Amino acid sequence: MSAGEIVAGVLILLSAFLSMAAGIGIVRFPDVLTRLHAATKPQVLGLAAVLLAIVLRAPTWGVVTTVVLIMTFQLLTQPMTAHMLGRSAYRTDHVRRDLLIEDDLGRDIAAHADD
């Protein structure tokens, strides 16, 4: 049992815990926007932890470059998904308006309604 194994194990456990938290979050939260908030955690931090564990266990340059590519694509594409889903949820009224504290998009739409 070396130090690298211990660190990799802790990173894997972190990723697994984030995945479990996301699953519980999307079952328990009330509407699309709050579920979106729960869902985006394992997609970035969980994957980053597990990729770091892979690099620690197999430290070659090929693995490092592939891991950097994977993380770059994930960081590019997941915000797009979250943005499109959130916007589409707002436009099609899948939002609990009584739970919103601040409604910036609604204010913008109201301000530009007469244009």
**Which residues here bind other proteins, judged by CB under 8 A?**
1, 5-6, 8-9, 11-13, 15-24, 26-27, 32, 35-36, 39, 42-43, 46-47, 50-51, 53-54, 56-58, 62-63, 66-67, 69-71, 73-74, 77-78, 80-81, 84-85, 87-89, 91-92, 94
Rounded least distance, CB 102 to other proteins, Å: 21
The two structure tokens encoding residue 48: 């980053």
Which helix (H) or strand (E) segment holds residue 12: the answer is: helix 3-28
Rounded least distance, CB 90 to other proteins, Å: 10
- Return the number of the residue (66 or 105) whose C-beta is nearest other proteins: 66
What is the DSSP track for 18-79? HHHHHHHHHHH-SSHHHHHHHHHHIIIIIHHHHHHHHHHHS--HHHHHHHHHHHHHHHHHHH
- Return the number of the residue (69 or 110) whose C-beta is nearest other proteins: 69
The two structure tokens encoding residue 50: 């597990």
